[in-house]
Amino acid sequence: MNLSLLVPQPQMVRSGSGNFRFDRDFEDQVRSYLFCDTLPEGITELSLPHELRTLPESYRLDIRPDKILLATESKSGRFAAMTTLKQLLLQCPGAVLPCMTIDDWALFSIRGVMIDISRSRVPTMNTLQHMIDLLSLLKYNQLQLYMEHTFAYKGHEDVWKDSSPLTEAEIRGLDLYCLRRGIELVPNQNSLGHMERWLAHPAYKQYAECPEGFTDSWGFFRPVSTTLAPSCRESFLFLEGLYDQLLPLFSSRLFNAGGDEPLEFGMGRSRMLCEREGRDNVYAAFLDRLHSLAAERGKRLMVWADILQKYPHLLKDLPEDMIFVDWGYQEDHPFDDDCRNLAESGRDFIVCSGTSAWNSIGGRWGNCRGNIRNAAAAALKWGALGIMVSEWGDNGHMQQYPIPMPGYFLGAATAWNPEAIDLLDLSGALSLLLFGREQKVLAQALMLLEEAGSPNGVKIHNASLPGIMLFDHHLPHYRSLLAQYAGYDFSFEYEQLEKAEALLASVEPGETRILYDEIRFTAALMHFACDLGHLRLQAPHFLLSEIDTAARVKLADRLEKLIIEYRRLWLLRNRPGGLEESAGILEELVRLLRKQG
């Protein structure tokens, strides 16, 4: 029995003597156990010792030669104990479980994951259910599906018709599926910034802060407004209509209305109001109105805290029951300062880190590890309700399904028992819980790809250097960063890729065929991006036109073949909506490579 494979690590384990022997029927009952189910025969439930009763989701699991004793005072504690037992049984192919006693409890009451289903990828129901099963096994208890336009709102078909959105029936089904696995599905609908999917349509420009477009803080003109006008009554009527359709579908009493990154807030229709009242006060009034809309529908409001960190004096005047979500995705994000501001306001808050998978192709493990640890330390120090790990889909959501997994695993470990994360064998846990006990090579290959995204000396905000080679023609902001990496040869990335590719060549995928193909494709796409980047960063001005014509044609040929596989893999786990948008970014790069020739 290898206890370092448990995710999260339990608080206390004491070895016993002897073994508990079980049959296939017992194993099946444990593995299929759902929230509030009757305990399998062979497990006896007892009262929890007094010293553990005040601890959240606490339990004692006492495995003896003749029986298993489970002591707890709550349904969530019972479910946590059974989840631990599920993981233990995965290590016991011989139907023999070593005796031990586990005393365990959660350090954070909220342990969540947020998955972006608006930037191109909308997972199939089967994929979402598979994800929920895994998150439940990792003891997460909250899931948010980040939405901008990917719910089938009645009367708004023009906005979502090409996105393969979630339907009312699917939301209800997911809500029940989550509840049976100890997870609260929290509605999430961004309600201020990131609304360009709506505001691009003529019928919705009446709600836009800058209907004719605006110049962002990076100096680039955006023809489509991204932010609702806070000064327009119609904006709130629009949101009311969305909330009336979406919120009743969820059993959760929480609602995340977003409110982050309103890029042009105060630059257009609300400019005069902001000049008169103050931009900070206009923002606070907007949040106050969102709070009222949520409360009228029986929900407790959650909002992002990024703007409030700029105006911490506003916190004391906002409704007392609001929950603030402080986000930051770099390893050096000032979570300590942020959390201190929120804690000193006396308000409830959650700390949100990220998987570092987006804009990277294969992940950025060094940043991911530092970011999640930093977030957890600040959350624990300043008394946060919990921590959340987010997975975003910027610029086509090009990362494959396995890439955020190390972040999910580490996030689960830190959300339950952050002081024991150094005891965790992450690669071994990925092998056991994701790939299957016999597929250790896939976990090792995945971690090599993850490490390739975080070489020493390269630090790009929310992206890796190979990653931006695929989309900087689509997002010019990143192009300006290339000069500081002139002459970079990608030697570290190539070394990691060669090791990963050798491992992949040595293994038969078996039942993990899709995961194998996704990791193999990730390695191939990263190799392409490094080859392209190597040529560009040797060129005088880092331009495609400065690369030898024959080399460009070869790169275009390679990328065309990769796009065929990209499309195939997409449809194995995701709905067709968004595929053309995502693949189109790569296809545009092919056209540019050929055009320059």
Q: Do residues 400 and 408 lie in contact, with contact meaning Cβ atoms separated by under 8 Å? A: no
Report the helix count and the strand count for the chain, using DSSP H and E. Answer: 20, 15
Looking at residue 300, its amino acid is R
Q: How large is the C-alpha radius of gyration of the chain?
A: 25
Conformational region of residue 401, where left means phi above 0, alpha means psi within -120 to 50, and beta covers everything else: alpha
Q: Do residues 503 and 441 lie in contact, with contact meaning Cβ atoms separated by under 8 Å? A: yes
Q: How far apart are CA 359 and CA 477, in angstroms?
A: 13
Q: Dihedral of CA 430/182/112/82: which sign? A: negative
Q: Do residues 348 and 324 lie in contact, with contact meaning Cβ atoms separated by under 8 Å? A: yes
110-116/386-391 β-pairing: parallel
Indicate the helix (H) or strand (E) that contains 558.
helix 549-573
Q: Which residue is catalytic, options 45, 73, 170, 261? A: 261
Residue 224 has which token pair? 């489509």
Neighbouring-strand partners of residue 115: 145, 391
Residue 114: helix, strand or coil by DSSP?
strand
- Among 66, 64, 70, 63, CA closest to 48: 70
Q: How far apart are CA 333 and CA 348, in angstroms?
A: 20
Q: How far apart are CA 70 and CA 31, in angstroms?
A: 16
Residues 6+ apart with CB under 8 A from 379: 108, 335, 339, 350, 351, 386, 387
Residue 73: helix, strand or coil by DSSP?
coil
- Among 55, 95, 47, CA closest to 71: 47
DSSP string, 487-551: T---HHHHHHHHHHHHHHHT---GGGHHHHHHHHHHHHHHHHHHHHHHHHHHSSS--GGGS-HHH
Return contacts of 66-70, CB within 8 angstroms, 24+ apart: 66/20, 67/20, 67/42, 67/43, 68/20, 68/42, 68/43, 68/44, 69/43, 69/44, 69/45, 70/39, 70/43, 70/44, 70/45, 70/46
Q: Do residues 135 and 45 lie in contact, with contact meaning Cβ atoms separated by under 8 Å? A: no
Lookup result for tokens 């037992």: 85
Q: How far apart are CA 559 and CA 563, in angstroms?
A: 6
Lookup result for tokens 């396995």: 402
Q: How far apart are CA 19 and CA 103, in angstroms?
A: 19
N-terminal to C-terminal alpha carbon distance within the chain: 59
Looking at residue 512, its amino acid is T
Among this protein's residues, is 168 annotated catalytic?
no
Q: Give the angle 557-451-422 at the CA atoms, nearest 5°.
A: 155
Active site residues: 261
